[in-house]
Amino acid sequence: MKYVALVYYQESIINSMTEKEWHDLNQECIAGVERLTDQGKFITGQPLQPIEAATTVRVRDDEVLISDGPFAETKEQLAGFYLLDANDLNEALQLASRIPPARFGSIEVRPVRELPPKD
């Protein structure tokens, strides 16, 4: 079954890291993806640019509304995602617990909802 692991952290914590600490964290993430791939558990994933690069799009009454920044002001920001292939929720949670940024923030795990076939 597919699960998405959404990575959240406070960008202020990341921004306060030294260049070496940031590099080391990224290397840990790369090694983690390699491990998940070797186990056949990693489908895809990507880190995201900081929230300053975000744009929110809303459509209300056929009018497109565009605003700079994320949809909601939150303590932690969405930093990236992993799409995992796990046998069940317990395995997905166990895999998510090894995602390095979990030490600084949180990993939200959700089952993927499959769309019905096209008519």
Residue 7 lies in a domain: yes
- Along the chain (119 residues), what's the average pLDDT of each consecutive run of 10 residues? 96 94 96 97 96 90 89 81 98 97 95 93
Residue 87 lies in a domain: yes
Residue holding tokens 């880190």? 47
Residue ranges making up the domain that contains 73 = 51-109
Residue 119 lies in a domain: no
pTM of the model: 0.89
Burial of 7 (0-12, 13-18, 19+ CB in 10 A): buried
72 DSSP β-pair partners? none
Residue 33 lies in a domain: yes
Q: State whether 105 and 58 are in the same domain.
A: yes
Total domains in the chain come to 2
Q: Which two tokens stand for residue 55?
A: 């744009």
Q: What is the pLDDT of residue 68?
A: 86
Residue 31 lies in a domain: yes
Q: State whether 55 and 102 are in the same domain.
A: yes
